A and B are shown apart, each in its own frame.
Chain A
Amino acid sequence: ILNVEQSPQSLHVQEGDSTNFTCSFPSSNFYALHWYRWETAKSPEALFVMTLNGDEKKKGRISATLNTKEGYSYLYIKGSQPEDSATYLCAFNNAGNMLTFGGGTRLMVKP
């Protein structure tokens, strides 16, 4: 079983706080690292797909970095808003196209 781990498991922050989560993954057979946001009663939606060591991607207040040599990725949210409350999932994409997810980080932003 591939080991994709996310921390923390859950996080409570106040509106306006900035926060970050970690995803760690194996550094062998790496092809891409995905981040998804999963809101309650909806389907998971892609935030980023990252492939190169040192990649940084940004979408509004959310950004992500990738270190393939040491096997980790960070997701940052600047100035959290209540609508950012969701579960954030990372997924390891191997060369054979299989997607293996971590356990997720559940973020709750209090107004």
Chain B
Amino acid sequence: DVKVTQSSRYLVKRTGEKVFLECVQDMDHENMFWYRQDPGLGLRLIYFSYDVKMKEKGDIPEGYSVSREKKERFSLILESASTNQTSMYLCASKPGTLDEAFFGQGTRLTVV
């Protein structure tokens, strides 16, 4: 079974803190994604990586950066957390173009 693991299920951080959300997949997938989910807005793409050290901005990259130093790990970084980044964050990985994506369990981040 494909496993996509996010480091935390729930996280509470203070405004201005630097926050790291980690995602690890165990199936050698090329493609990894970070989304945030807010009520009524579906899943919005923050960043996408198609290979080690390769990334593309999604629809809402402002306030975020990413790191992919190893194929299995894709990190989302909130440089200076703000209250409007309170959300559910979902990581996904996908082997190839016509393949389905596999999701982690989600991290519910609250910024206070």
Q: Which residues of A contact B (CB under 8 A)?
A: 1-2, 6, 9, 31-32, 34, 36, 43-46, 49, 51, 89, 91, 93, 95-104
CB of B98 within 8 A of CB of A101, answer no
CB of B59 within 8 A of CB of A99, answer no
What number of residue pairs across chains A and B have CB atoms under 8 A from each other? 70
Who on chain B is nearest to A1 by CB? B59
Can you name 18 extra interface pairs (CB under 8 A) apart from A89-B42, A100-B58? A6-B42, A31-B97, A32-B98, A43-B4, A43-B103, A44-B43, A46-B100, A89-B43, A96-B56, A97-B31, A97-B97, A98-B48, A99-B48, A99-B92, A101-B35, A101-B45, A102-B42, A103-B41
CB of B98 within 8 A of CB of A51, answer yes
A6, A100, A103, A104: residue with the most chain B Cβ atoms closer than 10 Å:
A100
